C-alpha cells in the first residue's frame, strides 16, 4: 500500500510540474501571437509581456498576454447592460475605458520571479492596472 501511495504522489508531482511547464510554454506562445497583432505597444510593455510580468498602467488584454489564464470579478459601469458578458467588459477597456472596477487573478512564477507559482490579483480602474497584490500566505 505504501509503495502504491508513493508512486501516486510521484506521478502527481510529475503531472503538476509538466502542467506548469506546459502552461508557461502556452503563455509564451500566446504572448508572441498577441504581440504580433499589436504594433502600438511600447517596448517596455512588450518586454514585460514576454517576461510574464504585469505592470501598473497595463490594459486588461496586456495583463492577460503577460500573465496567462485568470479568474475575474467585474463591477460594471452603468453604461453596460445588466446582462453584459464580463469578458466583453474586460477586453473592451482598451478601446473605451470606463468606470468598471475589474480584478483579474493570475497564478504564475514570472510575476515575482519565484520558484513556485504565486497567486496575485491585478486591479483595474478606468481601463488600466492600478494595483498588483500577491495573495497573502496563510
pLDDT of residue 1 exceeding 60, the answer is: no
Q: What is the pTM of this model?
A: 0.80
pLDDT of residue 98 exceeding 50, the answer is: yes
Whole-number average pLDDT of the chain: 86
Predicted local confidence at residue 113, as pLDDT: 95
| Mean pLDDT for the stretch of residues 89-101 | 95
- pLDDT bin (cut points 50, 70, 90) of residue 97 is very high
| Mean pLDDT for the stretch of residues 34-48 | 95
Between CA 98 and CA 117 the distance in angstroms is 31
Amino acid at each position: 500500500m505504501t509503495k502504491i501511495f508513493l508512486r501516486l504522489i510521484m506521478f502527481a508531482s510529475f503531472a503538476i510540474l509538466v502542467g506548469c511547464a506546459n502552461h508557461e510554454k502556452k503563455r509564451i506562445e500566446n504572448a508572441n501571437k498577441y504581440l504580433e497583432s499589436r504594433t502600438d505597444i511600447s517596448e517596455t510593455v512588450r518586454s514585460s509581456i514576454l517576461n510574464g510580468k504585469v505592470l501598473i498602467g497595463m490594459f486588461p488584454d496586456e495583463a492577460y498576454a503577460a500573465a496567462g489564464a485568470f479568474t475575474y470579478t467585474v463591477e460594471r459601469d452603468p453604461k453596460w447592460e445588466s446582462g453584459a458578458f464580463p469578458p466583453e467588459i474586460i477586453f473592451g477597456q482598451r478601446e473605451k475605458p470606463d468606470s468598471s472596477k475589474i480584478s483579474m487573478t493570475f497564478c504564475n512564477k514570472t510575476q515575482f520571479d519565484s520558484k513556485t507559482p504565486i497567486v496575485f490579483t491585478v486591479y483595474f480602474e478606468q481601463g488600466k492596472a492600478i494595483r498588483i497584490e500577491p495573495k497573502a500566505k496563510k
